[in-house]
Structure 1
Amino acid sequence: MKFVLTGALAGLAFGFAALPAQAQTVLRFNNFLPPQHGQVVDVFEPWARNVEEATEGRVKVEFLPSTVAAPPRMFDAVESGAVDVAWGVPAYTPGRFTLTKALDLPFLGDNAEALSVAYWTVHQEMFEAAKEFDGVKVLAVYTTGPGTIYTTGEPPHALDGFAGKKYRAGGKTPQEIAEALGGAGVTGPSSEAYEMLARKVADGAFWTHEAYESYKLGDVVQGQFSVPGGLYNAAVYIIMNQQKWDSLSQEDQDAIWSVSGESLARLGGRAWDKADASAIERMEADGVKRFTAEGALLDEIRQRLLPIEEAWIAEAEAKGIDGRAALDRIRALSGAK
């Protein structure tokens, strides 16, 4: 009997030893970008691996096979707990965010990594106090590369080239820029832009360089118009459901945070720079007619777009934020001219 009991205890002990020290937590990550997109390949997937490694396997990130909500509903999907983590674009949700629109303004810089770190810094120093992200845990905010205008025909070489033209714009600020240049903005998320161009619903589209490859624009785009420092950049976020975050142990929160925040913002911006460089090379090879404004034309564009910046500064001040100081800080940190 003694032998049998000892054997049973040994078997029970072996069974416990075979179990993991702690049950694994799975974070469901929602993404609406195409699988080949640089943000998926060079940001989301590496971050997921970093999380699993930092938590020693206790937390794993699982990518959902398809998006559970339209791009404008990413914040709601995370806040409600429909998903645990998501990447999103604040500009797709007009009226919810004010301070994120700072990064939609013109002439903030051509380097997404530098601008992303600048944005994350100013978010922590100034914007966070306004509580625009209340209800979720912000894992990172960062930016896209500089925004340009793709055209289905020749790119404009003068302001009168914008007259009467319609441009797909993913948010309010690009729409305002289109109007200030003499054209009109047509609302539409990135997932619909290709069809808008192919069906001639729009004569062009506000988009970053990388979109040329990510969204396979070669057969619908003939030209690209840009300005030094970008016509706009777009703020983006990676957020987590607050209850899910709170349910994690302090050890796992610390581990996830060690690979998030500034390091994740830097990773996101760097990936955009890499994708932009690749897309520009492809455009050059495909013979896309690329035009960059300079001289008197650039000066006129700056004057036309200045009221958009002044309007945002007033909006920020209404929220108790010194908008001019915030933009000065962002430009100083990003190296924008």
Structure 2
Amino acid sequence: MRARLPSCLRLAAAAVLAACAAGAFAQDKPVELKFAHWLPANHSLARNGFEPWAKSVEAASKGSIKVVFFPSQQLGKAADHYDMARDGIADVTWANPGYQAGRFPLIAAGELPFLVAKPGPGSAALDAWYRRYAGTEMKDVKFCFAHLHVGTLHAKKPITEPGQLKGMKIRSSNGTNAQFMTLLGATNVQVSAPEARDALEKGVADAISFPWGSILSFGIDKAVKYHTDMRLYASDFAWVVNKGWYDKLGASQKKVIDDHCSNEWAAKVGAAWGDDEDSGQAKLEKAAGHTIVKLTPAQLDAWKKAAEPLYGQWVQGVDKAGANGKQALAELRKELDARKAGN
């Protein structure tokens, strides 16, 4: 039987370890982490994702890493955030790969219609699956983690059937969603989330694919009154880090960033934001002048059948990029099923 150290010695050993850890951070040069995103500063993801992550980084680094936020496209347009991290305009950015359709074909799997039902476990599944591809597809940045949200169609008139979209102007959420709208005969309106309300109010768009809660936080509830009750699409997001900034960190600081670029954080952020977004459905249901459009099982099946060609197109695109599309999709489905996150 192994002898136990006296309590006084155990406490002394713990104090020495704590002092060593503090000493390691004391040797690190204090650095600023410029974190850029394109959401309003009071958006639910900022409150439930960005800020808790930043506070945890600062605490874990003993204050040697100070996070400074640049929200609302202050450093660049929404579609430019991946390149902003690559080029060092910001140190960490929140990027929507789907804003540059075709550039990141693998991670676009998470955008396939009716694939993901639950944003928290779905984010964990997407992140775990994508880590084996990120080093190639996003090789000019340090990949931190991926997560997603789930959304639906919000329009100026009730939409229940895929055929109703023919001739409509739709602000699509990402490249895959835009492919789906084109397949159904709609015209895509390419504007970022911050520009969407203006497009709807000016008649440039008739409907929008968007998560529930952000309809309210972006003020889009003033422009659309009908909300189709289905899990139509998901949008993928990647937190990416400038390699030059990361390489200059001390060893202890690098470990802090590595610990915060994890599958656990992907799941945490995905759940915190995704669940909050989903809660927007109940808020809109109670809001005066708004209607939640319910679908019959047959109508939902029609939507799913209409989306089937997109899966084949995704497989072909990934094959052209040099990976095995059929195998990759099967692996993603396996990850989703393991977390009970599939649609």
What is the TM-score when the length of structure 2 is the normalising length?
0.86
Bigger Cα Rg? 1
CA distance in 2, matches of 1:75, 1:277: 26
**Deviation of 1:331 (Å):** 2.8
Q: 1:315 aligns with which of 317, 322, 325?
A: 317
Match of 1:93 among 83, 90, 100: 100
CA distance in 2, matches of 1:105, 1:292: 22
Correspondent of 2:53 among 47, 51, 54: 47
Taking a change above 3 Å as real, the CA distance of residues 159 and 107 of structure 1, as seen in their structure-2 partners, is closer
**Residue 151 (1) aligns with residue 155 (2):** yes
RMSD: 1.8
The secondary structure found in structure 2 opposite 1:114 is helix
1:186 CA displacement: 1.4
The answer on 1:72 being equivalent to 2:73 is no
Q: 2:257 corresponds to which residue?
A: 256
- How many angstroms does 1:22 deviate by? 4.2
How has the CA–CA distance of structure 1 residues 51 and 108 changed in structure 2, closer, same or farther, with 3 Å as cutoff?
Answer: same
% identity of equivalent residues: 26
Q: 1:94 to 1:109 in 2, by over 3 A?
A: closer
Alignment correspondent of 1:188: 191
1:258-277 aligned within 5 A? 258-277=259-278
Secondary structure in 1 matching 2:32: strand
The answer to whether structure 1 residue 166 and structure 2 residue 169 are counterparts is yes
Identify the residue that residue 146 of structure 2 maps to in structure 1. 141
Shift of 1:21: 5.1
Alpha carbons 1:181, 1:301 under 8 Å: kept:
no
| Aligned residue identity for 1:162 | L
CA distance in 1, matches of 2:200, 2:238: 27
Q: Which stretch shifts more, 315-324 or 112-121?
A: 315-324
1:313 and 1:323 in contact (8 A); partners too: yes
Asked whether the 8 Å contact 2:28–2:250 carries over to 1, the reply is no
Count the aligned residue pairs.
312
User: Does 2:69 correspond to 1:63?
Assistant: yes
Tell me if the contact between 1:143 and 1:234 (Cα under 8 Å) persists in the aligned partners: yes
* Poorly superposed stretches of 4+, deviation over 4 Å: none
Counterpart position of 1:8: none
Q: Contact (CA 8 Å) 1:137, 1:239: kept in 2 or not? A: yes
Amino acid paired to 1:109: V
Are the structure 2 counterparts of residues 89 and 209 from structure 1 closer, same or farther at C-alpha, using a change threshold of 3 Å?
same
Unmatched tracts of structure 1, length 5 or more: 1-19
Aligned-pair CA distance for 1:325: 2.9
TM-superposed CA distance for 1:117, in Å, is: 0.4
Provide the C-alpha distance between the structure 1 equivalents of 2:123 and 2:80, rounded to a whole number of angstroms. Answer: 23
1:213 to 212, 216, 233: 216
Instruction: Report the Cα offset of residue 309 of structure 1.
Output: 1.0
Question: Does the CA-based 8 Å contact 1:140-1:264 persist in structure 2?
Answer: yes
Q: What's the CA shift string for 1:67-110, capped at 9, x where partnerless? A: 21111111111111111111010011233211121111011222
CA deviations on 1:298-325 (whole Å, 9 max, x unpaired) are 2222222111110101111222323233
1:132-171 deviations in Å (ceiling 9; x for gaps)? 1111111111112x22010022x22233322321111132
SS in 1 for 2:238: strand
Alpha-carbon offset, residue 194 of structure 1:
0.5
Verify: 1:232 aligned to 2:239, yes or no.
no
User: Which of residues 290, 293, 299 in structure 1 aligns to 2:292?
Assistant: 290
1:333 maps to 335
Structure 2 residue aligned with 1:9: none
In structure 2, distance between residues paired with 1:81 and 1:194 = 30
- The alpha carbon displacement at 1:292 in A equals 4.0
| Cα offset, 1:65, TM superposition | 6.1
Bigger mean CA deviation after superposition, 104-113 or 175-184 = 175-184
